[in-house]
Structure 1
Amino acid sequence: MRERYPDFTMTVKRVAVYCGSANGNDDAFLAEAKRLGAAIAEAGLGLVYGGASVGLMGAVADAALAGGAEVIGVLPKILSGSDIAHRGLTRLETVATMHERKARMVKLADAFLMLPGGYGTLDEMMEIVTWKQLRLHAKPCILINTLRYWDGLMSFLDGAVEAGFLKAENRELLEMVGTAEEAVERLRPSRIIDGRENR
């Protein structure tokens, strides 16, 4: 792994969270988002996210802010004047496009955690894991499987391995845990070697 990712640093200072701008149909989704924000703050980490005040995105940000964490939102210009923009963040950055938003979040963050979400969350997740596969970064990419939300995706990826479209070693680049606390715990320096958990 050192040869694959020679520039990787094990120090995690900021965490990017990808998640939905909706609450979902079960209270457990919102509760987990709040626990994640609180856990990030408790661990002394900063949060980088999409800059919205609504849904799981807003819940993560509000909980992290309440815990005293630095929270940076990155919002595309098309949404900057809308009601969903969070006005109480440590910093809200505005970028021209969705592509710039993703690139900026990657630059600011040292790890990526994914809560449930829709097309946007899937887009962000797949891009960041693809970049890891291409050796463009070696940062942890971890799914939080609230109510087994990601089970179908993981089954699809297993099928992609079986069909010969995904190497087994690259399938492992996307990790999965059951809770927000587990995700943050995996980011401790003693648990990470070259972007993966030291088991």
Structure 2
Amino acid sequence: MKALAVYCGSATPSDPVYIKAAQRVGETLAERGITVVYGGGRLGLMGAVADSALAAGGKVIGVIPEALRNAEVAHTGCTELHIVPGMHERKKLFTDLSDGFINLPGGVGTMDELWEAISWAQLGYHDKPVGVLNIARYYDKLIEFYQHMAQTGFVRSQHKDIMLVADNIDALLDKMGSSKPIETIFSMKAEDL
């Protein structure tokens, strides 16, 4: 994996565990020579990932919609900063530029990015690993719900392991690096669906 999209919040929660973990992600990716592809912001967890990767000598590619750049939240210190018209173009560029996806804690936008990465993987729009970094058990209920969707049959058995989960970045990168492509919906016959 040469480049990973990192999805996370632009908020700064009161508990410092989230910022510290985001900084560790940026440092670890830089140390491993993995380019950070992220939302291009300078605030919250997004800024912490970018700043720590840059400080560790890593490459950081930001992708930010024009409206957010105009709101002056863009990180102007990125190695590259792509300004795109909107969110659809942003997520497509994340997918085009990266070899996988890491989700740190975040809000609605982060959830949107996570579910789209999983959905696109099961359909067959990409064959890249989708990782969830479960910092301070933030994603416990979401992981439980994903398992519930699989148990009830709304996530096919071939796709129940798309979401790779770990509580530290090194373990997550190891899982992502050893993941195997899944049987996609596009490759299935109607009777298998």
Q: TM-score, structure 1 length as denominator?
A: 0.87
Judge conservation of contact 2:150–2:157 (CA < 8 Å) in 1.
Answer: yes
Shift of 1:163: 2.2
Displacement after TM superposition at 1:135 (Å): 1.2
Aligned partners of 1:75 and 1:95 also within 8 Å? yes
Question: Retained in 2: the 8 A contact 1:40–1:184?
Answer: no
Aligned residue identity for 2:43: V
Q: Deviations over 1:51-77 (max 9, x none)?
A: 000000000000110111110000001
Other-structure match for 1:20: 9
The structure in which a higher percent of residues are helix is 2
Once the 2 structures are TM-superposed, how far is the Cα of residue 185 of structure 1 from its aligned partner? 3.4
Unaligned runs of 5+ residues in structure 2 are 183-193
Cα contact 1:37–1:64 (8 A) shared by 2: yes
| 1:73 partner amino acid | G
Q: How does 1:137-152 map to 2 (within 5 A)?
A: 137-152=126-141
**For 1:56-135, what aligned pairs fall within 5 Å after superposition?**
56-135=45-124
Number of residue pairs aligned between Structure 1 and Structure 2: 182
- Cα offset, 1:192, TM superposition: 4.1
Residues 115-124 or 173-182, more deviating: 173-182
3-state secondary structure, aligned to 2:145 = helix
What is the SS of the residue equivalent to 2:102?
Answer: strand
Q: Distance in 2 between matches of 1:144 and 1:126?
A: 14
Alignment-mate amino acid for residue 81 of structure 1: N
Q: Percent identical across equivalent pairs?
A: 41
Q: Which runs of 5+ in 1 are unaligned?
A: 1-11
Deviation at 1:181, TM superposition (A): 2.2
Q: Does 1:194 align with 2:181?
A: yes
Find runs of 4+ consecutive structure 1 residues off by over 4 angstroms: none
Q: TM-score, normalised by structure 2?
A: 0.90
Deviation, 1:91, is 0.8
Secondary structure, counterpart of 1:58 in structure 2: helix
Partners of 2:3 and 2:100 within 8 A in 1: yes
Q: Distance in 2 between matches of 1:68 and 1:37?
A: 10
* Deviation, structure 1 residue 44: 0.7
Deviations 1:12-41 (A, max 9, x none): 110100000012231111100000000000
Does structure 2 conserve the Cα–Cα contact (< 8 Å) formed by 1:39 and 1:184?
A: no
Match of 2:188 in 1: none
